[in-house]
Amino acid sequence: MLSYITTGESHGKHLAVILQGMPSGLPMDLNYVNEALRCRQSGYGRGGRQKIEKDTVEILGGIIKGKTTGAPIGLLLTNRDFKIDRMPELTRPRPGHADLVGALKYEQGIRAVLERSSARETAMRVAVGSICELLLKEFGMDVASHVVRIGPAGAKVPDMSVAEIRRKIRNSPVYCVSPKASKEMVSVIDKARRNKDSVGGQFEVCISGVPIGLGTHVHHERKLDGRIAQHVMSMQSVKAVEIGAGTRLGEVFGSEAHDEIFYTKKLGYYHKTNRAGGIEGGTSNGSDIVVRVTMKPISTLARPLASVDMKTKRVAKADFERSDTCAVPAGSLIGRTLVSYVIADGFLEKFGGDSVSEIRRNLRSYLKQCHA
């Protein structure tokens, strides 16, 4: 239902995106979009670039008088650090980066590869995903994400509502719900910075209020969990995506793994536990959608690893360019908006409609059917 395409380089003049498939009549809160962009730039562990940029988007089309029209939505972001034609060529690929494979595959220098593979591109994906969040909110869904690990520092995660997560991360520089774990995470990032190293971690995305029936069991490409995994895995640095209890389900018996089914007239069918992360048979089951994501440490190291100079073919240390020490807090925000995109896509697929009011009518009649 939804699709988008981004364009732009990290140090190019602009980043831009066109999103198609949004219904008409959705109020466009540009402050919400720009706040998501600000959070993407923040989070402890970011590097010098974020001090230069102040990411905000300008609307190119698809929105009139503050509401979507149903036409493709165009957004433009202008880079302050626009210097792509003056950037030096690099010859010593960074292990873990797209440098080597991109240069060989596209028969070009590393510069062109890193300009596009840079996580700066996620600014436009956050813009798209936060518009999707506006749609989800319009229909009573709520979204949050929080960091659960940075390197060796892990947080104990109690059972929390999505609203609680949002409230608890507000004062944490690493977007973590636990003040104690936040401190430990900050000192791990400081240690990595001191050692001219980088550090990865894990975050969790939670979405509440998702109706039963997004995605399907009938066709592999439309399964909701598969779509989430594909989309989130496409984010820079991501190495693992888990739904619900994820890999922990490989350690227990079936009787401890599944969520028993209950029914009341008021609630309809429901579960008291949520190890499935809100998805059974590739379909949302009405529980919160819970996605846990693992990011590797950023591959640009101030104390570089061994590499090969692509010009001389001699052993050399990898190139170093300004980078972040840890992008996991920023990643948690990006991941949130990417999962929101997939849920919005599944929602539009299920409830169709060209306008927000048509979708509302479709949703109402479907919810009646589920409770019957």
Residues in contact with ligand EPS by the rule CB under 6 A:
10, 47, 49, 81, 114, 118-120, 122, 298, 300, 321-324
Nearer to ligand EPS, 322 or 371 (CB): 322
Nearer to ligand EPS, 120 or 227 (CB): 120
CA separation for the pair 349, 40 (Å, rounded): 28
Q: In what order do the strands lie in the sheet with 289-295?
A: 153-154, 142-150, 201-208, 289-295, 238-243
CA separation for the pair 180, 202 (Å, rounded): 17
Please, which residues have CB within 8 angstroms of residue 286's CB and are 6 or more apart in sequence?
A: 210, 211, 212, 268, 269, 270, 271, 278
Assign 54 to helix, strand or coil: coil
Work out how close the CB of 258 gets to ligand EPS at its nearest, in angstroms, rounded to a whole number.
39
Work out how close the CB of 111 gets to ligand EPS at its nearest, in angstroms, rounded to a whole number.
11
Nearer to ligand EPS, 120 or 336 (CB): 120
Nearer to ligand EPS, 119 or 188 (CB): 119
Nearer to ligand EPS, 84 or 367 (CB): 84
Please, which residues have CB within 8 angstroms of residue 206's CB and are 6 or more apart in sequence?
A: 143, 144, 145, 162, 165, 288, 289, 290, 291
Work out how close the CB of 241 gets to ligand EPS at its nearest, in angstroms, rounded to a whole number.
20
Assign 204 to helix, strand or coil: strand
Smallest Cα–Cα separation from 192: which of 201, 180, 202? 201
Length of the chain: 372
Work out how close the CB of 141 gets to ligand EPS at its nearest, in angstroms, rounded to a whole number.
26
Nearer to ligand EPS, 208 or 300 (CB): 300
Work out how close the CB of 49 gets to ligand EPS at its nearest, in angstroms, rounded to a whole number.
3
Nearer to ligand EPS, 197 or 321 (CB): 321
CB 82 within 8 A of CB 12: yes
Q: Is 286 left (phi over 0), alpha (psi -120 to 50) or beta?
A: left
How buried is residue 300: exposed, middle or buried, by Cβ count under 10 Å (0-12/13-18/19+)? buried
Nearer to ligand EPS, 120 or 168 (CB): 120
Assign 9 to helix, strand or coil: coil
Work out how close the CB of 84 gets to ligand EPS at its nearest, in angstroms, rounded to a whole number.
11
What are the b/e assignments for 196-228, b being 16+ CB within 10 Å?
ebbbbbbbbbbbbebbbbbbbeeeeebbbbbbb
Work out how close the CB of 170 gets to ligand EPS at its nearest, in angstroms, rounded to a whole number.
22
Work out how close the CB of 321 gets to ligand EPS at its nearest, in angstroms, rounded to a whole number.
6
